[in-house]
Amino acid sequence: MSNDTEAPLPEGWEMRTSRSTGMTYFLNMYTKKSQWERPEVPAEPGEVRCSHILVKHSDSRRPSSWREDHIKRTKEEALDLIKNYRKQIVSNDASFTDVAMKCSDCSSAKRGGDLGMFGRGQMQQAFEEEAFKLKVGQLSKPIETESGFHIILRTV
Ligand SMILES: O=C(O)CN(Cc1ccccc1)C(=O)c1nc(-c2ccccc2)[nH]c1C(=O)O
């Protein structure tokens, strides 16, 4: 049992003292809801901001992009590509933004892959699940949607 005053709170929570009773309570900084129990897990943000790199393949729902009218690469080749892009970014051989602008098959490539802020229910399920798992600044492993393979960078 952690002492209420010392251990750091999970991300997104703040400790408050009730003006009327002097009792300690906890405020979720995203939903502004309060609770008496000390939170054990981070508060989930209502929205996140992410950038992504999309590599499409011949089985993508729309196998076409600003880069290539008729995308012929196989799923296997697309997965290899996105893994190599991730390696280049992680090893600092290339920046996420540059790789997105040059190589992403998403129309967001022009914005360095930026998708802006989004909440749950706006993106394909697999994309959303991964995006909301990420911490700010974290780069996802490759994930698959009907659009193709993605790596996701959470920025806010
Ligand atoms: O899946 C389809 O039928 C066509 N799409 C959906 C789409 C098309 C244009 C703009 C945004 C989404 C894509 O293939 C697609 N998906 C995305 C996407 C997927 C997940 C997260 C963000 C973007 N981008 C694109 C794109 O062409 O630019």
Residue 1 has pLDDT above 60, yes or no: no
pLDDT at res. 3: 58
Alpha carbon distance 106, 119 (integer Å) = 19
pLDDT tens, 97-136? Answer: 999 999 999 999 999 999 999 999 999 999 999 999 999 9
What is the CB < 6 Å shell around ligand 1?
A: 52, 54, 61-62, 65, 106-107, 115, 123-124, 127, 145-147
Alpha carbon distance 107, 101 (integer Å) = 10
What CA–CA distances, in Å, run from 86 to 19, 59, 89?
A: 50, 22, 5
Q: Is 113 left (phi over 0), alpha (psi -120 to 50) or beta?
A: left
pLDDT at res. 88: 98
Given the residues 52, 57, 103, 108, the one annotated as active site = 52
pLDDT tens, 71-96? Answer: 999 999 999 999 999 999 999 999 99
Q: What is the mean pLDDT of the chain?
A: 95
pLDDT at res. 30: 87
pLDDT at res. 44: 86
- Which DSSP symbol is given to 43? P
